[in-house]
Amino acid sequence: MSGAHPDAAGGRELSLAPQRPSLAPTPAAAGRVASRRRALPSGMWGMALFLGAESMLFAGLISSYFYLDFRATRWPPAGARLPETLIPSILTAVLVTTSVPVALAARRAIAGRRAATMALLGLAAFVQSGYLAYQLHDLVDQVHSLPPQGSAYASAYIALLGLHHAHVLLGVLLDLGMLFWLALSGLSDYRVTGVRCVALYWHVVNVIAVAVLLTELTPVL
Amino acid sequence: MASTLSPPARAHVELLERVWEERKGVFGWVTTVDHKRIGLMYLFASMAFFAAGGVEALLIRTQLIGPQQHLLSPETYDEIFTMHGITMIFLVVIPMTTGAFGNYLVPLMIGARDMAFPRMNAVSFWIFLGSGVFLYVALATGQAPNAGWFDYVPLASKQFDPGTNIDFYGYGLIFNGIASTATAINIIVTIFKLRAPGMSLNRMPLFCYAFLAAAFSLVFALPALTLATIFLELDRQLGFHFYDAGFGGDPLLWQNLFWIFGHPEVYIIILPAFGIATSIIPTFVHRRMVMFPMVALAELLVAFLGFGVWAHHMFAVGLPTLVTVYFAATSLIIVIPSAIQLFAWITTILTGKPEFTTPLLWIIGFIVFFIIGGLSGVTVAAIPFDQQVNASYYIVAHFHFVIFGGAVFPILGGLYYWFPKVTGRMYHEGVGKLSFWLSFIGTLVTFFPMHIAGIEGMPRRIYTYTAASGWTTLNALESAGAYLLAAGLLLVIVNLAVSLFKGAPAGADPWGGDTLEWATSSPPPAYNYAVIPTVSSAYPMWDEEDRERDRRRLERGQGLLARGHETPGTTVQDALLDEVLAMPPSSPLPALVGAVVFAGFIALVLAHFLIAAGIGGLAAALLVAWHVPPRGEKPAAEGGAR
């Protein structure tokens, strides 16, 4: 309880953190406040809420898949080819492991290490782009072998894949945008929050990747 | 206020004026990130859409004024009633509450200087405006959505509605949803992170609780609508089969997804209205809200329970009995938190010293209509009765009492209540009361007979009826009420417009209000508060010691935060000062992003998918440019950002 708030001296307690400098009068003090901040930065809250909305989107999509599944007499319909198991599982595993470099990049960023942050984020972006390129190529094949115009099953299957790929694409764009600004303008407090937001985005998209994979594999499980 | 300042205080205020100076003229408005200006732009835009939706309502009522009228063709009638519904819900009530009231008042009430993400706030306004223009482009080109605001398939499928009408609906609502989601996230983060030091969650105004609950509902409910419309457009444009029973799809999937959004939507509409009511009532009955914690919890509980009642819109589609009974039960449970709030308002009014000014009259009107709409809501939660009156005018009566009486009345009351704060001038009290009584009687006469018409069997959405049906008198009465209502609403606008120029000066706090927005001058300066206020109860304006302390700190220049656009960030639960946030300056990018997204959706509706993708890439590039480092930002030294 060092340095009580000046306003706390007379009258009521003001609930200002007693050990904190009062409303940071100088830039240095503002920096100290930021370095000791206890709540998550606003950007993280914003990203978390955005990801909440995106998770609802996928929850709705997966629910729709099972809704149609339970209403159908045969699912997948007669003649539709069954989903492959091995390659999608390996690919998803590869995507999920990119959570590691992304999480490390966020920690390096908090520690103020720009070069390490960029290297880790670059590594993640490289693997994620490779994943996306393979998946998009594969999607074209799948659309030919299981045209979404053929049945509701194919529609739900392709939509589930396509919507997740769109989220991976957005994530790769976030990586590249982040790398662009890290290279150009260094690691400010704003960028650190940015890297943490990108990391959070990937963690959620990777968890959703597992949910999407499991949903699509239900006919062969 | 300025005249009473001592020289040191005036010097501090002048410093802030320089730091927060805004560009003048149209360019200043287009590039602004000030939450108050954005709130006003939301207000003007949603008022324009309100006028359009009102004209559509009058066209509907004129068409139905007598049997066998030919003002509108059946096809035009479909477009008009669909646009009326879409306009009032997506382009009027949501932007008016979360956009205009939320933007303008939430930062003021919590003692902040802006929203948490000011530029995202601006972009959500421009995207909202774009989506509204997009939908009205459809009406202007004779391609307006025409399958009702809930757009049931298979009527809305390509087979039965081959034009671009439904595509405008699908893309328009996705477009609009982007804006609403961004605004909702902004409101939540602002409330969580930007509250004045000392405004712990239990001292937060009930208004903010209501907006918090509505914003959470928006974030988690809108994705269901977005998903439903994505499926719809995939079906219509690319031949997918989500809703096509012939290929294993299911039309009921649309209904489920739509109402998973659609029922929380009802609370998204009405919760902000609850918030406005809980602001106005304590001020004019001169006492605190009774049961403050219960009302706060009830507001959150209503939003939460709102996610579990959607299938009560589907009692007549042949769901299993167990399912319908479950949803009937949840629909009745939601009465409990609603009644808690209702009894709290009534008790507060009865145990206080009510002063029946115009804003309080609108709130009392709201309480009356909310009771009528709530009671008819209880009747339609009873499955057998619902199956009788389903898709009849009884339902139209029910939801107009809830949405028009329940949401729009508090909005109008709120317009009067905060008019002095926003403009610095008083409205005309006599004309204000007259406008209330005209609207009150107009609402009753318009919507009450619809209950009877519905029970007598008049279906919704029919463009005319025969004299033999026996509905002629009721419909003539309803139409007469609609004109009366329109006159009342027009009088509101006239009153406010004339008062803007001729009203008496209002001063900072004409009502003796309890929340922080009354602490600053009217209209508030760009920086909202000269010193960041500190808060020690839920009624900060009635804590004179605290406000006196603010004045002393202004003399000393303590807590001025004038090194740029700064505002304090506090901890989520206890609102302990945590950091000083630097807010962005004005920027042309938000409006530009809005324009680009508008172009992208036009390309989509014209089915130029490659062009749309290209425009999407442009939008992504703009969003990267968005994060250009602000002038003067120094990268943190190696090894110590945080």
Name every chain B residue with its beta carbon within 8 A of the beta carbon of A6: 558
Give kind and range of the element (H or E) at residue B425.
none
DSSP, res B71: S
Q: Is A114 on the interface with B (CB under 8 A)?
A: yes
Amino acid A35: pLDDT: 64
- The minimum CA-CA distance between B144 and chain A, rounded to whole Å, is 27
Nearest CA distance, B459 vs chain A (angstrom): 31
Mutate one of B194, B237, B576 to test the A interface: name it (highest A CB count within 10 A): B576
Q: Does B1 touch chain A (CB under 8 A)?
A: no
Q: Nearest C-alpha of chain A: how many angstroms from B636?
A: 5
B569–A contact, CB cutoff 8 A: yes
pLDDT tens for each residue of B249-263: 999 999 999 999 999
Interface of B with A in 70-129 (CB under 8 A): 116-117, 120
8 A C-beta contact, residue B256 and residue A67: yes
Is the Cβ–Cβ distance between A195 and A185 less than 8 Å?
no
Give the whole-angstrom CA distance, residue B139 versus residue B246.
32
The pLDDT, as a whole number, for residue A6 is: 39
Give the B window 234-263 contacts with A, CB below 8 Å.
234-235, 238-242, 244, 247-250, 253, 256-257, 260
What pLDDT, on a 0 to 100 scale, did the predictor assign at position A10? 33
Of B220, B569, B578, Cβ closest to residue A53:
B220
Task: Tell me the residues of chain A between 34 and 63 that have a Cβ less than 8 Å away from chain B.
Answer: 34-35, 37-39, 42, 45-46, 49-50, 52-54, 56-57, 59-61
Q: Compare CB distances from A188 to B250, B575, B633 and report the shortest one's residue.
A: B633
Distance from CA of B375 to the nearest CA of A (A): 32
Q: What tens digit of pLDDT does each residue of B578-615 get?
A: 888 888 888 999 999 999 999 999 999 999 999 999 99
Whose CA is closest to B156, among B47, B247, B244, B265? B244
What local confidence, expressed as pLDDT, does residue A38 receive?
A: 77
So what's the pLDDT on residue B563?
82
B292-328 burial by CB neighbour count: b if 16+ within 10 A, else e?
A: bebbbebbbbbbbbbbbbbbbbbbeeebeeeebebbb
pLDDT band at residue A4 under the 50/70/90 scheme: very low
Distance CA(B170)–CA(B84), nearest Å, equals 16
Query: Looking at the complex, does the CB of residue A66 fall below 8 Å from at least one CB of chain B?
Result: no
Q: In chain B, which residue's Cα lies nearest the Cα of A178?
A: B624
Q: CB pairs below 8 Å between A and B: how many?
A: 228
> Predicted ipTM?
0.94
B584 by DSSP, 3-state: which? coil
Kindly state the percentage of chain B with pLDDT values over 70: 98
Contact list in A for residue B247 (CB cut-off 8 A) is: 150-152, 155
Instruction: State the nearest Cα–Cα gap between B94 and chain A, in angstroms.
Output: 18
Overall residue count recorded for chain A in this entry: 221
The whole-angstrom separation of Cα B636 and Cα B642 is: 9
* Terminal-to-terminal C-alpha distance of chain A: 60
Structure tokens that stand for A176 in this block: 């590249």
**Burial bucket for residue B497 (CB in 10 Å: 0-12, 13-18, 19+):** exposed
The string of pLDDT tens digits covering residues B430-453 is 999 999 999 999 999 999 999 999
- Would you place residue B632 in the very low, low, confident or very high pLDDT band (cuts 50, 70, 90)? low
Q: What is the dihedral of CA B595, B599, B600, B601, to 10 degrees?
A: 100
Between the CA of residue A112 and those of A99, A107, A196, B349, what are the distances in Å?
Answer: 20, 9, 12, 57
The dihedral built from the CA positions of residue B565, B566, B567 and B572, taken in this order, carries a sign that is positive
Instruction: Please write the tens of the pLDDT for every residue from A18-63.
Output: 333 344 445 565 556 556 677 889 999 999 999 999 999 999 999 9
The answer to whether the CB atoms of B563 and A27 lie below 8 A apart is: yes
Q: Minimal CA–CA distance to B145: which of B95, B71, B81?
A: B81
Please report the pLDDT score of residue A30 as a whole number: 52
Chain A CB contacts of B158 under 8 Å are none
Mean pLDDT, rounded, of chain B:
93
CB B341 within 8 A of CB B363: no
Q: Do A60 and B635 touch (CB under 8 A)?
A: no
Give the pLDDT mean for B202-208.
Answer: 94
Nearest-by-CA chain A residue for B552: A7
Structural contact between residues B345 and B373, judged by C-beta atoms closer than 8 angstroms: no
Q: Which A-chain residues 158-177 have CB contacts (< 8 A) with chain B?
A: 158-159, 163, 173, 177
Whether omega before B540 lies within 30 degrees of 0, making that bond cis, reads no
Residue of A nearest to B637 (CA): A112
Helix (H, G, I), strand (E, B) or coil at A27: helix
pTM (2 d.p.):
0.93
Q: Mutate which of B268, B317, B578 to test chain A, going by most A C-beta atoms within 10 A? A: B578
How does pLDDT run across B113-168, given as a tens digit for each residue? 999 999 999 999 999 999 999 999 999 999 999 999 999 999 999 999 999 999 99
pLDDT digits (tens, 9 = 90+) for A117-165: 999 999 999 999 999 999 999 999 999 999 999 999 999 999 999 999 9
| pLDDT at B634 (0 to 100) | 47
Contacts of A6 (CB under 8 A, 6+ apart): A22, B558
- CA separation for the pair B68, A129 (Å, rounded): 63
Mean pLDDT calculated for residue range A188-192: 86
pLDDT tens readout for residues B81-101:
999 999 999 999 999 999 999
CA end-to-end distance (rounded Å), chain B: 41
A186 touches chain B (CB under 8 A): yes
H runs (alpha helix) in B393-471: 393-400, 409-423, 429-455
> CA of A77 to nearest chain B CA: how many angstroms apart?
8
Per-residue pLDDT averaged across B369-393, rounded? 93
* Coil, strand or helix at B392: strand
Q: Report DSSP letters for B506-571, one per residue.
A: --S-SS--SSGGGGS-SSPPTTS-SS----SSS-GGG-HHHHHHHHHHHHHTTT--TTTTEEEEE-
Instruction: Give the torsion through C-alpha atoms of B64, B65, B70, B75, to 10 deg.
Output: -20
Are A45 and B571 within 8 A, CB to CB? no
pLDDT value at B395 more than 50:
yes
